[in-house]
Structure 1
Amino acid sequence: MNEQNDTPSEQPTGAKQDAIDINDFVFAATGARVRRLTLPSGEHWFPAVDVGVHLGYVNTRQGVHWHVAADCERSLGDLVRTVYGTETSRNIAGHGLKKSMRMVNLRGLIQLVNGCTKPECAPFKEWVSEVIETIQRDGSYVLDPAPVQPSPDGTTAYLMPQQVADAIVRLEERNIRADEELAVARIERIEQMRRTNEHLGRITDQLGLTNEHLGRVSDHLGRTNDHLGRVNDRLGTLADRVGGVHDVLGRLADSLDVIADRLRPAGPARSAVTPQRLLATWRAKNLVVTEDVHAVAAYLAPALVHGPVHCRLEEVADRTGLTLDRVHDCVRMLLKRGCMRQAGVGAGGLPVYVLP
């Protein structure tokens, strides 16, 4: 089996030499170098799949069935086993071939070419038509002898028909142009890949720098969050301390009020003071400034005109509808404005308030 190449295959010993070089002949017909098996008799057989692919057949087996005569095609296994024997048929796989592969002889190849619609096959078909026409008219077709010295075995070489030679030249030129275009395309593709790789390299470097910067920013944010956490802890501690100081100052102010009440001499009797007059006096001195304070004062005034008052803030809140914190603030306001004073602590820890 001769592989696809540009070198003519060697003829088997004792075989008749081809008048036209078989490689050029097949190349003119198919536009490509195809593999072939040359029998000892000099008959050439070609893989139908090689021929069909280069001639543009989508389904090679169907093309062989439609265009090739039954005596012009055989399976490779039967062909080799018939000619060479069983031992040689076992070595077919070493040539990249399968026993089931369909093979066509030169007549079958020409039949496939005649059934092909590719424009490249037109010169070959024209020459075949000329051969048939010449034989029908003259009774024979003769090739012109080639202007070369006879070969050592005494045979004579013949000229390639002009149509076939022109087809070979066109196909060779087309292949050369295709090779050149392919080489240019490969160079452009390599250059494009190089530029793409450089661009990807720059992008990768930029991503690396960005990741490093993001890492540093994340570290800085982490340290900032830790610092803010410590600041919040310190602010919380300071707020607790300030609250404690306020409580101490409040208790100190209450104690000072108690001491001042104890040291102040007793005033005239207030048996004639009424709750309405007491509230009017507080309003005249602008001591009651809001409705909430007035409500608490109106609740405490009737009890204050009769003596000390054990003030339960919860009860005042229930009676006035104010919140407990608001009642506490109002009581502190009355104490600070001098409307009443604390005279100590009674049973159950309740503060005792009296008029100043």
Structure 2
Amino acid sequence: MNLVPFNFNGSEIRLITDDQGEPWFIARDVADLLEYANPHEAVRTHCKGVRETLIPSAGGEQMTKVIPERDIYRLVMRSRMPAAEAFEEWVVGEVLPTIRKTGSYQRPMTQAEMIVASANILVSLERQQAQQQVDLVRVERKVEDMERFHVWDHRPSNCLSLTGVKAEMNKRYGLSGAVVDYVLKDWPHLPNPAGMVRNGHEEALESQYMVWAKTVVTTAFKRFVSECQMETATQASHPYFEGRFRLVQQVQS
């Protein structure tokens, strides 16, 4: 069962929801709120569906009487409290529909809470816009790089293909292909490709593949590795990379 506290005009009323999602009110809370002189007697006399269940408290769980929705109306009808009718309308019109819809009661936010919530939404939007701007800059940079690309019929001897970069960085640092892909495509300081090479295989249909200058790639990965934090003897993390990865030789700065 789920214990749910809520507030009516400064008075706390607690309820639980059973396995079927039906609300059961703490009988003493309701009787006290409705200003019965003898709450125990009022519950015993007027309520027909009383049950006892274990309820968490400061001193541990204790057996507590709970009443169903229909007994709320019985207590309201016999209460002399001026606000009893308003309490009934609040329970029927706000609390019960919310509980049946969401499984819990969410009190209305205060003005200060609404301001904080609005501020959080604004911060989230600003962060999204900032990330979109970063992504746009990256796209524009890649487009500019493509426009400046050299296209060769054969790979220059001082350049490496993606497969070559992966093999070299695995040999040097034990980096996986996924980490190499990240550094070449998403890392903020990713190395610029040197150009494109036409694929000479007949089945390649005149496609091209990207190559990087060996010196540029070596420098970039040396920087990336120097920014890594060793978590174990062979596992590292990086501020911009999600999760740990294998790193067998960390470059000294």
TM above 0.5, one fold? no
Q: TM-score, normalised by structure 1?
A: 0.23
Q: TM-score, normalised by structure 2?
A: 0.31
More strand by share: 2
